[in-house]
Amino acid sequence: MKNIIRQIFSFILPFTVLVLVPLSLEKDIRIKSIPTFIVGICIMFFGLYFMVMTISAFMIKGKGTLAPWSPTKKLIVDGMYGYVRNPMIMGVLAVLTGESIAIMSINIFSWTIIFFIINHFYFLLLEEPLLLKKFGKEYLEYKKHVKRWMPQSTPYMKE
């Protein structure tokens, strides 16, 4: 029961980033163009797929959640994490980009850029040093082979 409550609370941040902030930024939420709406929705579903796959990996393989108060116990280096170190954030960025395209919102697109910059520095200054401290050589080896933001064409294979 305690684990379920932790998992539910771990979705507060994504909900805030993907729903509450965009709703607060954009007052004119309407479809302005059917083609751009369709493209935006497709990008959003792509991003949601990334998020579901990575959050599932956190819970199943990592034995934790995406929330900092209930982190994973194992370093995840396969699946989508074999291609890029931060696929969950890539998924969030795709959803936000899709939202901005779907309703043609410069405000939400600006939020997408701000969110990326915040996360870049968060990973650089806080999360990566914590991962290095927690997982040591295993994380260093992974970091050496998998880029932070640019997905690679072939997955990392742990030796």
Full pLDDT tens readout for the chain, 159 residues: 666 666 666 778 888 888 889 999 998 888 999 999 999 999 999 999 999 999 889 888 888 777 777 788 899 999 999 999 999 999 999 999 999 999 999 999 999 999 999 999 999 999 999 999 999 999 999 999 999 999 999 999 887
Contact 45, 38 (CB under 8 A): no
pTM for the complete prediction?
0.89
70 token code pair:
């209930």
Exposure on the CB side of residue 23, measured as CA atoms within 13 A: 6
**Continuous H helices in 17-136:** 21-25, 34-60, 87-102, 106-122, 128-135
Give the separation between CA 38 and CA 33, rounded to whole angstroms.
9
Strands (E) in 5-120, as ranges, are none
With tokens 């043609």, the residue in question is 104
Contact 12, 68 (CB under 8 A): no
131 burial type by CB count under 10 A (0-12 exposed, 13-18 middle, 19+ buried): buried
Contact 10, 71 (CB under 8 A): no
